[in-house]
Structure 1
Amino acid sequence: MMGRWLTGSIVIGIIASIFAGCSVNSSSSTNPMEQSDVHATGRVLTIGTTADIESFDPPNNANTVSEAVLVNMFDYLLKNDNNQHKIPVLATSWKKTDDNTWRFNLRQGVHFHNGDPFTAADVKYTLERVAKDTSLKQNSYFKNIAEVRVIDDYTVDIVTDGPDPLLLNRLCKTGAGMLPSKYIDTNGIAAFLNQPVGTGPYKFGKWMKNDRVELVRNDEYFGGKPKWDEVVFRALPDSAVRVSALLAGDIDIATGLLATDSKRINEVKGKTIVKAPIQRVLQIILRMSEGSPTADPKVREAIDLAINKQSLVNSIAGGAGIVTRTSVTPGNFGANLSLYKQALYNPSKAKQLLQAAGYSTGGPEIHLSASSTYKEYASRISAMLDQVGFKTKLDVLEPGAFMERYDSKAFKEAFIIGIGNSLFDASNNFNRYLKSAAVGETDYNNPKTERLLQAAATNTDITLREKQYQEVQQILAVDRPAVYLFQMEGIYGMDQRVRFEPRKDEMFYAEDIIPVS
């Protein structure tokens, strides 16, 4: 059973029996993403997640769940520890040589999972690809990289098209996961996506889409022998299913749990709840397109005032959250603390605003979409809106369907989403309100906000830059292209077989999760 320590012929027999009865992945399949000869014969770590990954192409993923898996396969040049300190990974050192250039010295003796050596050519390919290919979901974070100059096999200069105060932060994001240029040049990107290789501590084993990702130990990892023989990420969108899997011993860690799950887990011997603050803020994104009822600022304000944010925190989150009128929380650059721990609940005024907007005999009809991950919040918010006069049409989607609609910007008036901040910087949250990025989603367009965001993007004066982002937050608190609800707290279920300390960025580095024998 996944999540337990299994050895020798016992594990082989169990795995064989499981897959013999599984119609999803028969032995006759020729899809390499659905078959693998490799199975662990030792320690297996199994994590139950809220959704499946999007793909094995690091720069073409746009959610935290995907990155939390891929960080185990694809190394960055450097990464953040839990306190935002930069740690060398594939780069051993770096320095700024002029306003637009950083030089990186690369680690020698590193190989990709297929045996290709890691060199400067891979850095050039990886970063210039994500910077130039506008179809990649991470392009907006890296498009300011103008060029990667190869000095020698183990030295590169990363040149930006202007001063970039965030380059090091960007290089700690999923779009900067290093790719094997020689392998992709020879075989093509499609072949890579079917049989992906990185330099990380774990190699690709199997992907059963919308079910699980299986990774196996990379015995040639430059950082030493990995702790786990196999790491499994199971996609279990329903919180109750994740809890049941944890209690049954099928998984070692259950992510994204509700406060109401805590008692059930803590009452079982060998299971416990772990909590930690995370960067994620639950929010409602509103469409401001001409003709939409939410284009009216009175309607958007009425939505804000109709929602009892503290009630959501107390009842559904079990107190594990902090209400806010901004999505930039303390610990992130540019946070405006005057908007943090603030809420504007006033249902009477919400009703008055709807009347002033011309809805005297019944509020506007709005479609509110949400992933099933947040279905309890969505249901409660829908009821609150209806109480002040809205006619809310609730649309709850499975996580995969939600992300497809999100990527295509196909939501109607409103959708609920939890947005994290892997950059630890206000730009991560607010660049979606640049005019070019907002088209088709919110259609937000405020020239003053545009000027501030554009200026902050290249401002190396950190004092002025911080003030620019703080002013943006004051404007957004009035314009309301989004209604911010509360900063979330991560709630995880854990089996006594492992020792796990959650990270603020919600990553699951398997090497940081300790097996308890």
Structure 2
Amino acid sequence: MKKLFIVFFTLGLVIFGGCGEKKSKEKEKLVFAQLSDPKTLDPQNSTDNYSQVAITQIYDRLFEIDEKNGTPVPSLVESYKKINDNILEIVLKKGVKFTNGDSLTAEDVKFTLERAKENPKVAHLYKMIKDVKVLNNNTLEIITEEPFAPLLNHLSHKSSSIINKKEVLKNSENYFNNPVATGPYKVQNWALGDSITLISNENYYKGSPKIKTVIIKAVPEENSRVIGLETGEIDMSLDIPAISWEELEKSGKAKVYSAPSTTTGYVGLNTKSPTLSNKLLRQIIAMAIDKESIVDTIYLGKTKVANQFLAPPVFGYNKDALPQEYNVEKAQQLLEENGLVGTKLKISVSSPERVQVATIIQDQLKKIGIDLEIELLEWGAFLSQTGSGNTDMFIMGWGPSTYDGDYGYYPNIHTSQMGSNGNRAFYSNPKIDSLLELARKENDIEKRKEYYKEIQEILNEDVPLIPLYHGNVVYGVNTNLKNVEATGYPEFYKYEF
């Protein structure tokens, strides 16, 4: 009997010891879910959120944004100073290595910024840069044509993520499939359309991440992301619908982390479409949309009705701005008086949640005599469709990660950015273009605010965009995952189980 007990005891140690070993290994792997997989790992060719989640982990930038106050703080930069209004001197941190062992140099920074300036998607962020002058391996000057107020903020943008000049020139075709960079993670495997697996950069200059493997997985269905959190198949998820917050908290398996974000959810109106080129019709549509009902019904009051395109944390936000008028009776009257009853339109969306928003708008417009068809598209197809102008309306969100009004407005409404570069409303107004250019050159904070105030007043009149709500950044998180905050992009290297 004693012998039998020893056998079972020993066997139990083996079994449970094995489970413990397996559990320990699993604690170094994090599965992160979002609506779509990355479309590219080329930082200078990306403006979509789902690609930038991965880009944030793989690369570093000269500056990052302190989200508590919206100001840029040094990252790869040891020190910096303004020589004059047009020259910024930067000294890089020493000892920063790329994943192939190369040291970060000023030449890599120069190469990155010059490459960004050439890409139409993000060139507007850097077009004021006249020259990048390398003084030595660790020191450079960024010279602008004129004073450039948001320069430091723009140097925190994901498109300014530093790439390895030598490796890009050696293998430009394949570099961005498995980038050589300085960030906390590097690519192990990328299954296009499904997931990307990242492994830790053990030589990361801020210290080796405790989470050794991160799988960023595309999970388009909202319910699947919630169920995955409840079953433990998913450790952390973006895009958690408000209706599921309480359910997750009650499960005891996950917590919801939420904070006000820079994002504004909005309806875009294609001003070049034959129907919506009519400004009066755009104004009528804006009058007929009850934003409050959308916030209360879909977001359960957890977001705020938008009074303008910029969200409260973004520089240039005007707390006193008046939102576009909501007046169903007036909208219906104007529609009838101008022979617009029976107008047919199509609205494109990219997620089930936005289908719900579109359905409410569809019902509201139907009441005044406008028929709205809803089209649900996969994220990549949605970007292509709206970028080419093949829809009347669309629902989207825009959150300037730089926390500056320039990146809030410029890509979305400047004439030069029409189409897939950002201005999906195909809106053009010379006065708006002029104000945007003046605002980015103006170092006086109060004068810059006045420019952005005037821009919003013109937008309220022209209605290329209808701001619906100021959103939150929301994560559903496994209760065992520590050090998580509701930041604009997940910071996996700071987390641990």
Provide the TM-score with structure 1 as the length reference.
0.87
Whether the 8 Å contact between 1:324 and 1:343 is mirrored in structure 2 is no
Q: Which moved more, 1:446-455 or 1:433-442?
A: 433-442
Cα distance 1:441–1:43, how it changes in 2: closer, same or farther (>3 A)? closer
Deviation at 1:68, TM superposition (A): 2.1
Question: What is the correspondence of 1:321-340 to structure 2 with a 5 Å cutoff?
Answer: 321-339=303-321
Let me know the Cα RMSD of the aligned residues: 2.2
Deviations 1:369-419 (A, max 9, x none): 11125221122212221221111111111112112223x333321111011
Letter in structure 2 aligned against 1:213: I
Question: What is the correspondence of 1:69-80 to structure 2 with a 5 Å cutoff?
Answer: 69-80=54-65
Deviation at 1:501, TM superposition (A): 4.1
Unaligned runs of 5+ in 2: 1-15
Name the structure 1 match of 2:374. Answer: 394
Name the structure 1 match of 2:139. Answer: 155
Name the structure 1 match of 2:289. Answer: 307
Please identify the structure whose Cα radius of gyration is greater: 2
1:511 equivalenced with 2:493 (yes/no) = yes
Whether the 8 Å contact between 2:475 and 2:486 is mirrored in structure 1 is no
> Matches of 1:97 and 1:105 in 2, distance apart?
13
Cα distance 1:234–1:443, how it changes in 2: closer, same or farther (>3 A)? closer
Whether the 8 Å contact between 1:11 and 1:41 is mirrored in structure 2 is no
Unaligned runs of 5+ in 1: 1-6, 15-39
Name the structure 1 match of 2:242. Answer: 259
> Matches of 1:383 and 1:180 in 2, distance apart?
52
1:233 equivalenced with 2:213 (yes/no) = no
1:437 equivalenced with 2:417 (yes/no) = yes
> Matches of 1:155 and 1:396 in 2, distance apart?
49
Question: What is the correspondence of 1:93-242 to structure 2 with a 5 Å cutoff?
Answer: 93-134=79-120, 137-187=121-171, 189-242=172-225
Name the structure 2 match of 1:88. Answer: 74
Instruction: Decide which of 266, 290, 301 is 1:319's aligned counterpart.
Output: 301
Whether the 8 Å contact between 2:61 and 2:75 is mirrored in structure 1 is yes
Deviation at 1:296, TM superposition (A): 1.6
Deviations 1:14-59 (A, max 9, x none): 9xxxxxxxxxxxxxxxxxxxxxxxxx77511221112211211111
Whether the 8 Å contact between 1:287 and 1:441 is mirrored in structure 2 is yes
Letter in structure 2 aligned against 1:200: G
Whether the 8 Å contact between 1:69 and 1:508 is mirrored in structure 2 is no
Which SS does the other structure have where 1:205 is aligned? strand
Whether the 8 Å contact between 1:75 and 1:199 is mirrored in structure 2 is yes
Provide the TM-score with structure 2 as the length reference.
0.90
Whether the 8 Å contact between 1:114 and 1:197 is mirrored in structure 2 is yes
Deviation at 1:500, TM superposition (A): 5.0
Aligned positions, number: 475
1:59 equivalenced with 2:44 (yes/no) = yes
1:351 equivalenced with 2:335 (yes/no) = no
Whether the 8 Å contact between 1:411 and 1:441 is mirrored in structure 2 is no
> Matches of 2:453 and 2:307 in 1, distance apart?
12
Letter in structure 1 aligned against 2:314: N
Whether the 8 Å contact between 2:324 and 2:460 is mirrored in structure 1 is no
Name the structure 1 match of 2:463. Answer: 480
Which SS does the other structure have where 1:338 is aligned? coil
> Matches of 2:363 and 2:86 in 1, distance apart?
51
Letter in structure 2 aligned against 1:121: E
Deviation at 1:343, TM superposition (A): 5.5
1:446 equivalenced with 2:426 (yes/no) = no
Whether the 8 Å contact between 2:276 and 2:392 is mirrored in structure 1 is yes
Runs of 4+ in 1 over 4 A off after TM superposition: 7-14
Name the structure 1 match of 2:278. Answer: 296
Which SS does the other structure have where 2:336 is aligned? helix
Deviation at 1:65, TM superposition (A): 2.2
Whether the 8 Å contact between 2:41 and 2:54 is mirrored in structure 1 is no
Deviation at 1:79, TM superposition (A): 0.8
Deviation at 1:12, TM superposition (A): 11
> Matches of 1:86 and 1:453 in 2, distance apart?
21
Which SS does the other structure have where 2:174 is aligned? helix
